[in-house]
Amino acid sequence: MAIWHYLSQFCREPRTIGAIAPSSKQLAARMIEPIDFKRARVIVEYGPGCGVFTRHVLERIDRDRTIFFGLELNEKMNRLVMEKTPDAVIYQDSAAAVKKYLRQYGVKHADAIISGLPWASFSESLQDEILSETVSGLKKNGIFTTFAYLHGLVLPSGKRFRQKLLKYFSKVEASPVVWENLPPALVYWCRK
């Protein structure tokens, strides 16, 4: 059922939905791989979509000591993720507002931020705005993970985005290709 939500929203709002299908469990596992769940006190998710990454995080955190919330701008996808993961806290807002929500929880920084945002469909100025707020909202040595579809890596926008990551973060690594995703993707693991 979620695939129809994605296709529908992709056709209606391609600027806020960059996928034609939900991310795979294998991609979700790669996305959260570098997060130290025993130590992380604050984790944020950008663009949770239908909640594939959200579920993986919820399965691993201690909800009594770890703050976890998501930011989903698309209203229909926001409703979908709340239906699929009713125990998650998801706000309908832009990722650029991350510090507003951190302050709401009485914290300045997140230990980890995971992103399912469709970076390639964003203007360069919006990419810069969100990445700047992300770096500002991460603690020192905090982790930011996001993914890119394999076919987009050779496009000028894909190359520019990788360069932006290298500009904003002190260390950027790429995972092996996750072939079990539609389309295949890799994950960028970025350290502040």
What's the sign of the alpha-carbon dihedral 36, 104, 117, 27? positive
Check residue 77 and give its pLDDT: 83
- Taking the model in full, what pTM does it have? 0.88
Check residue 37 and give its pLDDT: 96
Check residue 152 and give its pLDDT: 87
Q: Which residues of the chain have pLDDT under 70?
A: 1-21
Check residue 192 and give its pLDDT: 97
pLDDT tens, 63-101?
A: 999 999 999 998 888 888 889 899 999 999 999 999 999
Check residue 18 and give its pLDDT: 47
Check residue 141 and give its pLDDT: 96
CA distances from 115 to 44, 67, 130 (A): 8, 16, 11
Backbone torsions φ then ψ of 108, nearest 5 degrees? -100, -30
DSSP 15: T
Check residue 21 and give its pLDDT: 62
Question: Mind listing the domains of the chain with CATH numbers?
Answer: 2-191 (3.40.50.150)
* Residue-wise burial string across 122-148, b where 16 or more C-beta atoms lie within 10 A, e elsewhere: beeebbeebbebbbebbbeebbbbbbb
